[in-house]
Amino acid sequence: MPKIGIIYNDIKPIACKTAHQIQDQLLSRGWQVFMATGSGGLLGHSKPSRPVCFTPIDQLVPPHFDQDLSFAIVLGGDGTVLSAARQLATLNLPLLTVNTGHMGFLTEIYLNQLEPALELVLEGNYTIENRSMITVRLFREDTLLWEALSLNEVVVHREPLTSMCHFEIQIGEHAPVDIAADGVILSTPTGSTAYALSAGGPVITPDVPVLQLAPICPHSLASRSLVFSDKETVNIFPATANRMVMVVDGNGGSYILPEDRINVQKSPYNVHFIRLQSTEFFRILREKLGWGLPHIAKPTSVELP
């Protein structure tokens, strides 16, 4: 009997309702359906009194989800997609992402397109787009304190009441660099359209095998975004006496102390997005972010008296 998984945002009534409707529909057609909420992929927040607070990457898979699933449906917004990516990464499952949120930059279809889209997927009429992820690990000396998979980015920044911080960053075997800024963002190509874009970084198409380092409010005009091979391992050292904060995918993270080290490298796992039309990335940029739209509002000619 074929099997399918559903990951949904349980705080959105429309996502809950749709998940159960899909379950009933597929059960009547002879499918086994397993359901889980996206909350299982949310990252824990460490606290000064509890510095170790995380679930190992290979333990995020929901109960009854395994590699025998044909594919998984994700119902929610971008946050749910990010959570589902972490939950299902080790299973290498194709994901049909359905927008029940707002922008839905990472989703493939809208809710009103679900019925015909599901038929196409059940018939196998789709392609797969692979998106790279990064593995983020926090070490204190040689002890692993925290780890997570990230589809978008890892951000290290100062706390609200502290001054500008220094970051010593080593990329691969290259000489370390010192960046004075409010924070730094290390993003994947997928994350280049998220926080890194707001910090002035370039948009990177998803098929380019690179990572991007973007300073947040840097103190020097020489500190600008850097794009480099995703084969390089990155180590970030807090070069300041102040405690800092690390956030992954805008979701959760950990406090960073001066003696800590953040290690970031390309993950062995990819996210496999189901695509029902050609993966025209520029079309998504136009539809979601308004990039490249023609300037149709132009001044009219006025005849002088």
Q: Which residues are annotated as a binding site for NAD(+)?
A: 78-79, 152-153, 182, 193-198, 251
Please give the annotated binding residues, written as ranges.
78-79, 152-153, 182, 193-198, 251
- Choice among 68, 78, 142, 230 that is catalytic: 78
Residue where the block lists tokens 């990010």: 82
Closest CA to 5 of 28, 38, 45: 38
Residue where the block lists tokens 């080593």: 170
Cβ-in-10-Å burial (0-12, 13-18, 19+) of 282 comes to exposed
Read off the amino acid at residue 108: E
24 is catalytic: no
What is the rounded (10 degree) CA torsion for 135, 184, 279, 16? 70
CA distance 157 to 182: 6
- Residues forming beta bridges with residue 260, ordered by sequence position: 140
CA distance 157 to 34: 39
Q: Would you please indicate which residues are annotated as catalytic (active-site) residues?
A: 78
